[in-house]
Structure 1
Amino acid sequence: MEIKNVSIIGLGALGIMYGHHLSKVLPKAKLRIIADQNRIEKYQHEGIFCNGERCNFRYVTPEDSVEPADLLIFAVKYSGLQEAMRAAQNHIGAKTIILSTLNGISSEKDIGSHFGYDKVLYCVAQGMDAVKTGNRQTYDNFGLLCFGDKHGIDSEKVKRLTNFFDKVNMPYELDANMAKRQWGKFMLNVGVNQTVAVFESDYGKIQQDGDAREMMIAAMREVIQLSKYEGIHLTEEDLAYWLEVIGKLSPHGKPSMRQDMEARRKSELDLFAGTVLELGRQHGAATPVNEELYRKISEMEKAF
């Protein structure tokens, strides 16, 4: 079954970037952005811009009757996932493939529990340096979507999505061990997002030697230790891989947590250090760096 209808929910930095890319190659009727009526009116009035170009999106409300999506992309914050799943209900069909670009290591489980695991492909969005300020998003590096099924890359869903991404020129990579890939991205987020937030800086700060880079790597090594208890077994080689990913980002770019802090929004602290601290308690493992990051960011957020 060929993928023709695509629905996206969430117009943060990634939702805009993927939506804008797909809007260039799909008929307007085949790409739908799901949003409530108030948001739609705001988007239509103010516009949504990607690298200076106004996006030409078709918007639908959660209540609109639509043809089921062949591909449904969740690009919301984790705190908004439950609401987003309710809003996307009308877009689910028997053959819908669901991708999540959310941070963390649990969104696929939540989505699978709600819609059925048979619809979910495991996904990691990596290598992009998109920044959203108000209704304007910019990026230097588009990055890629890495995906696979829970048990490999040979499933019918993977083949359908691979064929579609080839057709629409969407950068991607297949990974037969998505559990480890997701933990690797989680390790990166724990280090990069939180360190840049604490130092109130950008990627450039953690790309060069110094206190910020040392803190970032120390926080990431705590995730490596925890991964062994969870049967994932991240290594120093994985750390080196993700440090290379970081090194290719625009030094002036900023991760999502830093963007949230600048906008005085509650960040995904509980998704990053909060998860690390909870796993540390479960396994009796020390996590002092993430404890310090949690304390500092919590103090910063109290000023909002």
Structure 2
Amino acid sequence: MRRTRVAIMGAGSIGCHLGGWLASSAEVTLIGRAPTIDAIEEQGLTVSDLKGHRRTVPPERLTLATEASAVVDADYVLMTTKSSGTSRATRQIAPYLDHDSVIISFQNGLRAASMIDEALGSAFPSRASRPLALSGMVPFNVVRVDETHWAQTVSGRLRVKDHPRIDPLIRAAHGAGLRIEIEPDMRAVLFGKLLLNLNNAVNALTGEPLAVQLRDRDCRTVLAACQDEALALARRLGVNPARMTPLPPALVPAVLRSPTPLFTSLSRASLKVTPQARSSMADDLSAGRPTEIDEMQGAIVTLGRTHGTATPVCSRVVDLVREAEEAGADHRRWTGAQLRAAVGL
């Protein structure tokens, strides 16, 4: 039987991690920036998970490319670019897609799959013949521990919108030891993931590893306030955010505000974080790159404005991240107490 063909558009940390695992049971094409692709071509690709499992894929087992045309003939395209690059990346790959192609967004934010579908509209005006765009969700962080090794640093399982056409991908993933859960209501899942992603900005502003930042009660209090605003908005929108941890989302802010020993005890079983874990937004600020703040606290602010829900803490966090972006790699690093005061708590 022909192996499933998977192209990964935007092969950075998440894309390389997914591609490295899938390569044992699928034909994988990685499309990314030249420095990353060149390094993998020389050294191969290594991925590892929280259980200590490690896999190295020789370069000859991968198709490596820097051009969007490499998606041609792929059964599935996994979109792993930054959210801000979604429309542009979709327009780049559109000429090389078939009407039966399936694109799955494994990106942050609430809107990525709809942005893909909208960007496909110019190349495929008829919805009946347009490639299928589905939402996916990556709950964990991945860090680049050396030039061609990407490691999972936070626990969690992938999720993707339930649809009959994703079955071959699910089988290939499970055959590679990569667990993907199918979900009928990805809107609830994406909102649940957004609640967790609100910590990305808090982590980025402190510059601390996640394990250190999460031991700071002031930092957790800022995150809890952001989540409170997001939960109020979810109620206004009629969305019941999916549970990303053993606790219902409505109870998480109270746990975040609890004394650190209690928080550590309550989260130990459900939240595994390696010492080197940092948010992708922290990496972006350190490298002087634009962040995804518009799809995180920024999304809460925008939706709150539209639906009449107050979001003062999220709004202030957006302002602080914007200031950090303008300052570049030498941006201010905030202590938890300073950050709590800066957002008015």
TM-score interval (norm. to shorter): 0.7 to 0.9
Q: What SS does the aligned partner of 1:265 have?
A: coil
The match for 1:31 is 28
The match for 1:253 is 277
CA distance 1:63–1:147, change in 2 (3 Å): closer
- Distance in 2 between the 1:132 and 1:296 partners? 26
Identity across matched positions, percent: 23
Q: Deviation of residue 229 (structure 1)?
A: 2.2
Corresponding position: 1:233 with 2:240: yes
Q: Which runs of 4+ in 1 moved over 6 A?
A: 36-39
Corresponding position: 1:220 with 2:227: yes
The match for 2:193 is 185
- Distance in 1 between the 2:42 and 2:184 partners? 44
The match for 2:290 is 266
- Distance in 1 between the 2:69 and 2:216 partners? 52
Corresponding position: 1:13 with 2:13: yes
Match of 2:171 among 163, 166, 188: 163
Aligned CA-pair RMSD: 3.1
Q: Deviation of residue 39 (structure 1)?
A: 6.8
The match for 1:129 is 141
Q: Deviation of residue 37 (structure 1)?
A: 6.6
Amino acid at match of 2:160: F
Corresponding position: 1:303 with 2:327: yes
- Distance in 1 between the 2:111 and 2:46 partners? 30
Report 1:189-208 matches (<5 A).
189-190=197-198, 192-208=199-215
Gaps in structure 1 of 5+ consecutive residues: none
Q: Indicate conservation of the 8 Å contact 1:8/1:74, yes or no.
A: yes
Q: Indicate conservation of the 8 Å contact 2:83/2:108, yes or no.
A: yes
The match for 2:314 is 290
Q: Indicate conservation of the 8 Å contact 1:121/1:157, yes or no.
A: no
The match for 1:176 is 184
Amino acid at match of 1:15: G
Report 1:7-156 matches (<5 A).
7-26=7-26, 30-35=27-32, 40-41=37-38, 44=41, 50=47, 56=59, 57-62=62-67, 64=69, 67-115=72-120, 119-126=132-139, 128-132=140-144, 135-136=147-148, 137-141=150-154, 143-148=156-161, 153=162, 155-156=163-164
Amino acid at match of 1:6: V
CA distance 1:108–1:200, change in 2 (3 Å): same
CA distance 1:87–1:250, change in 2 (3 Å): same
- Distance in 1 between the 2:311 and 2:317 partners? 10
Larger Rg, first or second structure (1 or 2): 2
Q: Indicate conservation of the 8 Å contact 1:71/1:98, yes or no.
A: yes
- Distance in 2 between the 1:261 and 1:39 partners? 19
* Deviates further, 258-267 or 113-122: 113-122
- Distance in 2 between the 1:44 and 1:59 partners? 7
The match for 2:339 is none
- Distance in 2 between the 1:65 and 1:214 partners? 45
- Distance in 1 between the 2:192 and 2:3 partners? 29
Q: Indicate conservation of the 8 Å contact 1:7/1:32, yes or no.
A: yes
- Distance in 1 between the 2:275 and 2:33 partners? 35
- Distance in 1 between the 2:305 and 2:147 partners? 40
- Distance in 2 between the 1:69 and 1:274 partners? 34
Gaps in structure 2 of 5+ consecutive residues: 49-53, 121-126, 257-266, 329-345
Q: Deviation of residue 156 (structure 1)?
A: 1.6
Amino acid at match of 1:11: A
Q: What SS does the aligned partner of 2:314 have?
A: helix
Q: Deviation of residue 197 (structure 1)?
A: 1.1
